[in-house]
Structure formats: structure tokens, C-alpha cells
Amino acid sequence: MNALSFSNWANTANGRAIAAPLIIVLLLAMIILPLPAIMLDALFSFNIALSILVLLIGLNTSKPLDFLAFPTILLVTTMLRLSLNVASTRVVLTEGHSGPDSAGKVIEAFGHFLIGGNYAVGIVVFIILTIINFIVVTKGAGRIAEVGARFTLDAMPGKQMAIDADLNAGLIGEEDARKRRSEIGQEAEFYGAMDGASKYVRGDAVAGILVTIINVIGGLIVGVLQHDMAFADAVKNYTLLAIGDGLVAQIPSLIISVAAGVVVSRVANDQDIGTQLVTQLFSNPKAIFVTGAIIGGMGLIPGMPHFAFLLLSILMIGLGYFIAAQKKAAETPEAPEQTEIVAEPEEASWNDVVPVDVIGLEVGYRLIPLVDKAQGGELLKRIKGLRKKFAQEVGFLSPTVHIRDNLELKPSAYRITLKGVEIASGESHQGQFLAINPGMVSGTLPGAATTDPAFGLPAIWVDSGLRDQAQGMGYTVVDAGTVIATHLNHIITTNAAELLGRQEVQQLLDHVGKESPKLIEDLVPKMLSLSTIQKVLQNLLMEGVHIRDMRTIVETLAEHASHTQDANDLTALVRVQLGRAIVQQLFPMSNELSVMALDNNLERLLLQAMQSNNATGAAIEPGLAETLARQTEVASRKQEQMGMTPVLLVPAQLRAALSKFLRRAIPHLRVLSHEELPDSKTIRVTSLIGGQA
């Protein structure tokens, strides 16, 4: 097999799969089989290069998950160093009597060049490196990994709830939600693995000390007893070799430990650690000026090295002036050319008549970055996803949301308009997070108390530094853009009937006509007018019924259009045909329907009132209407507290009238008729309304 074919094989899946077992076998072979000195030189050089490579990769990661294989790499590099210790120990003890180069040039270089051939200095340097690695770097990195694993596990429920909230609001898709859940799990596993992997390096430091002591003692025994060396010569030879061997192993170990500390101690953002250090250390000219002045003052003290301190002071002050000049130039806008043009006033025209936006979003000036495409405009992307999710679930494409800034609003305020009229408003603080209390939190947080603008839940605006703590305490934490997007989604869903104009109905029919052109041609305008179809669809949307199944709706209208042209009667007929979908929407994944029902006497009384007046809920006697509304509201609240959707089951003759009557007082109540329930479902009555009337 030539080099090219081997390279191609190594890049295949089979080659990568066999790499890990092959590395383990080679490490074991290094422990068992004797290695020549030249092979030790190559492996020691590779160990140093590998440790530097790992450190550089750790410095260039923007978040810990970018180096997900680091705990495994930590184990492999530790085993490589220990295997090299065993192999070098064998060579030192068997060939150490022949001279300081008997264990290879790398160990000799570390024994002579780094410590000057003085084994006493070598012992001190080796002990210092071991202490730094064992007590300072490795212990700190292990502690950070342990705390990180604990906080990551505590914050997992809150992060999962935040993902579910974004998914339900249409801000992300199922694929993005699955990816974010996977990242949360990987993050917890990573910190847990790093907590355990740090023990490898600590054990490696202890093993390095023991191996060095064993090499010195074993070398003295072998040199004096087996090779008849003088005690002084044996001490010099074997101690230098043992210390050189220990330094060759400890320096890569220290580099790997530093890499571990860098990976687990950094705060994740979109910058690597080098960029973070430069931008954050040298971005404040005032701090640099003060530092230069202090260093200069120290240089003026008698007895101090004046040249070194004063030179550094001049460099620091010069750097401060340079950074200050750069920041000033960046903040000063270029003055535009002043060209005064006197324009004559134009005559009024039809262009001055601006149509009213169907859906509008107005924001204060502090929220402009959320809707400015030049500054990222994350809210724009979320609104696009929101409209797509609405179209997929409800069944038609909502009008475009027109966004503009409004300087008359508070800086962090926004308002939502429908056909030019404000229907909702709120505040969202850019740079902060809204911690929403779903009712299961384990503590309180510092911040401005408020309520969730979409659903009215108690919430607190917290700083970004408290985000993980809030998630760990059970809060659902969302950013400023998500607050506005969720509120907008709630408003659009609630007012879907008003958003379905005649133009949207025509576009919807044209879309259905691509698959069933004959059905649409026969229905509109031969049998029903476009306005009647619009009224039927609006009636469905007003009661929260999705219109995705347009084929069934159109077929039902075509079947009954010859008998009635009344939109309310047609709506009732369509609801019966959509009964299975309506029930599934209210009771997903359930064969038992927990509903409220009317007492027989109340039901009979209401039927008589409807038949005699042939009217809606206005025909109900005022006292009876008040009792009905009050008892239904109490029963609905109990239903919601049990985690069930409040649904009232009534006869078909009463359904439309009671739904319209109760809709204002109980917006979340759904009124179904017996004809709309599929035969396969089981009914369980949880509350009887009117029994105590």
C-alpha cells in the first residue's frame, strides 16, 4: 500500500473507526516492548507538539462544546506520557551507565540545557513544575469543571422550558429545538466528563514524582551493584537522566493542564479567547493611563531599576493615547456635505393617502436594534418564523407585519396595532431577560417585577448575568426579542378572524383550486358569494377552529349551498364535518373527553327561550343569564386548575348562541355540540352547570 492509498484509507470512515483501538494498542506496546533511544526522541517530540496543538485549539474555541473531544484527548495524552515514562525508565535503568545520552537526545537536552547539568537545580525545577501543575492549574480547572457541571445540570429544566416556549411561539422549528436540546445535554456531559478527566492530570503529576524517585533509587542500585560505578558517578548519571525524563513529561503535562483550564474557565461568546483578552484588557485607555502612571512612579523610587520601569511607563501611556485616539475617531461621525436645497411645496395627490396597516408593530428607540436589519434585527427573523408557523397551523397566510419606530413611545415600549388601532402594548428591555414564573420556581430574583405581556404571568426583568441562575430556579427565561415575538404571536392568533380579509380568502381559494379546480369553479360564484365564504371562515376562526382542512370546508359548503345561504347555518354544518379535527385540537392524544354540561332543567329552559324568540343569547332572562355566566366561569376555572381545557357540551340548537354569549366573559371557553363529537370518543362530565340554580 503506497502513501497516497494509505492516506485515502485513513480519511474513510473505516480508517477513522480503527484509529482509537490502534492508538490504545500502540500505547500498551510502548509499555511492554523495549524502545530504542531514537524512537524515544521521536515520541517525546511528538508529545510536546501534541500538547502545544491542544493548547492552541483550546485558545481558539469560542465555547467549550467546540472542543467536545477534550476529555478523551486528556485521557489519551495522559496515557501517552505514562507510557513514555515506562519506556524511558526501562532505557535509563538498562543503559544509564553508558552516559547521559543513553536515553536519547531529548532527555539529555532537558538534563543539561534546561538545568545546566546540575541535578540539584533539576530536582528543584521539577518539584516546582509539579506543584504548579498539581496544586494550581489542575486543581483550579477541576473545581471549575465540577461547579460548571453542577450549575449546568441545575439549569437544564429551565433551558428546556425556554426551548419549548420558543417552539410553541413559532420562533424556532422542530429541527432547531432538537439541536438546542442536544447541545444542552452535551454541555452537561462535557462538564461532567471534564470533572473526571481532571483527575487524570492530578494522578499523572503524582505518578511523575514517584517515577522520578524510583528512577533515581533504581539507577543507583543498578549502577553501583551491577555496573560497579562509583557512587558519585551513579548519582550524577542517573539523577540527571531521571530529572530530564521527568521534565520531558511534566512540561507537556503542564501545557495540557493550562489548555484544560482555558477551555472550562472561559465564558462562551462568539469570540475566541485571544480576541477576548486583547479587546477587554486594552479597550479602556483610562485604566492604561493610570497603570502607566503607577509604573512610572515606581521607577522614580531610589534603588528601583529606573530604565525598565520608566520605559514600560512610557510605552503604557503611549498605548493609552493610541487607543483613546482610535475610539474618538470611531465615535466621531463624518460630517455630511451641507447642500441647502430649497424645494417648492408639491400639490397634494393620491400618493399622500397612506393605507392603514393591517398589523403594525411600533417600537421605542431603544428597541430599534431588534428590528434594524443593519444591526442584526433578530426580531425580524422571528416574525418570519412566526408567520410561517401560523400559516402551517391555522391554515392561511397572515398579512405582513409592518414595523416602524415611534419616538412618542417610551424608550423600551412597544405597541401592536390592528387596522391602525392599538390593541396591545408592553415594555421590553434590550440587553435584559424576562424570567417568567410558571408557578413552580424555587426562589426569588433581584429585578423589576412585571407581568408577561402575552399571558399575564408574574415575571421579573433580570440582568444577563442572572440568566443561568433563573433557569436553575425553574423560571422560563426569554430575551427581549422573544417577549415581543410571543406577544405578537398571541395577538395574531387571537385576532385571526379579523386578519382574514377578502383578499386572503381569494388567495386561499386560488391555492385550493390548484389541486381541485373544478370544486372551486362550481362553488364560487355559482353557488356562494366570496363574502359568504369569508363570513363562514371568520366564524370558525373566531371560535379558535383552524381552517387547514379547506377541502372538507369547501365540499361541505358545496353540498349544502343549495339549501341555505345563511353563513351561520353553513358554519354549523361545517363544524360537524370538522368535528374530529376540533376535538383533536382541544383534546390531543386522548380518547376521554372531560367536559362541562348543562343541567336538564336549565337546558330545557334555554331551548324554550331560543325557540320562542328565535334569537341569540339576548333572549335569555337577565337573572338567568347572570347565573349561567357565573357558574360557567367557576366551572371553567376548576377545569383549568385540573390541567384540562374548559369545554362546554350543549345541544346543537344552543351552541352558537351560548358560544357568543359566554365568549366575552370566558375567552378560553370552547362550546361544542353533541353532533360535533366523534362516536369513538368517551365523554366524562366533570361539572354540571345550573344544578344549583
Size of the chain in residues: 693
Sorting pLDDT into bands at 50, 70 and 90, what band is 1? very low
Rg of the chain over CA atoms, in angstroms?
A: 38
Above 60 in pLDDT, residue 19?
Answer: yes
SS3 content of the chain, % helix, strand, coil (to 5): 65, 10, 25
pLDDT of 131 above 90 = no
Reported pTM: 0.55
Comparing 466-470, 605-609, 618-622, which segment has the lowest mean pLDDT? Answer: 618-622
- The contacts of residue 491 (CB under 8 Å, 6+ apart) are 416, 418, 423, 424
> 535 or 293, which is more confident?
535
Is the dihedral angle over the CA atoms 246, 251, 256, 262 positive or is it negative? positive
Q: What is the pLDDT of residue 57?
A: 82
Q: Give how far Cα 358 sits from Cα of 354, 372, 503, Å.
A: 12, 21, 12
pLDDT at 651: 92
Q: Express as a percent the part of the chain with pLDDT over 90.
A: 22
Domain 590-693 has CATH 3.40.50.12790: yes
pLDDT of residue 276: 63
CA–centroid distance for 95 within its chain: 58
pLDDT confidence of residue 372:
85
Q: Of residues 569 and 308, which shows the higher confidence score?
A: 569
One DSSP character per residue, 125-164 reads HHHHHHHIIIIIIIHHHHHHHHHHHHHHHHHHHHHHHHHH
Distance, CA of 506 to CA of 500 (rounded, Å): 10
d(CA 390, CA 499): 12
Q: Which CATH superfamily is domain 354-497 in?
A: FHIPEP family, domain 1 (3.40.30.60)
The answer for residues whose C-beta is within 8 angstroms of residue 88's C-beta and 6 or more apart is 40, 44, 103, 104, 107, 245, 248
Render pLDDT for 627-667 as a digit per residue (tens, 0 to 9): 888 999 999 999 888 888 899 999 999 999 899 889 888 88
What is the chain's mean pLDDT, rounded? 80
CATH superfamily of 500-577: FHIPEP family, domain 3 (1.10.8.540)
> What's the pLDDT tens digit per position in 23-73?
777 777 777 777 777 787 788 788 888 888 888 887 777 776 677 777 788
Q: What is the mean pLDDT of residues 524-552?
A: 92
Per-residue DSSP letter, 111: I
449 close to 458: Cβ distance less than 8 angstroms: yes
Residue type (1 letter), 375: Q
Asked if the bond preceding 646 is cis, omega within 30° of 0, the reply is no
The runs of H, that is alpha helices, within 222-284 are: 231-265, 273-281
Round to whole Å and give the CA distance between 164 and 551.
Answer: 31
Confidence of residue 277 (pLDDT cuts 50, 70, 90): low
The band of 519, judged by pLDDT with boundaries at 50, 70 and 90, is confident
* Higher pLDDT among residues 355 and 268, named by residue: 355
The CA-atom distances, in angstroms, between 430 and each of 287, 367, 433, 483, 495 are 28, 6, 8, 10, 27
Label residue 212 exposed, middle or buried (CB < 10 Å: 0-12, 13-18, 19+).
Answer: buried
State yes or no: pLDDT of 545 exceeds 90. Answer: yes
Confidence of residue 21 (pLDDT cuts 50, 70, 90): confident
Neighbouring residues of 317: CB distance < 8 A, sequence distance ≥ 6: 288, 289, 292, 293, 296
Task: Take residue 529 and report the three cell numbers written for it.
Answer: 358569494
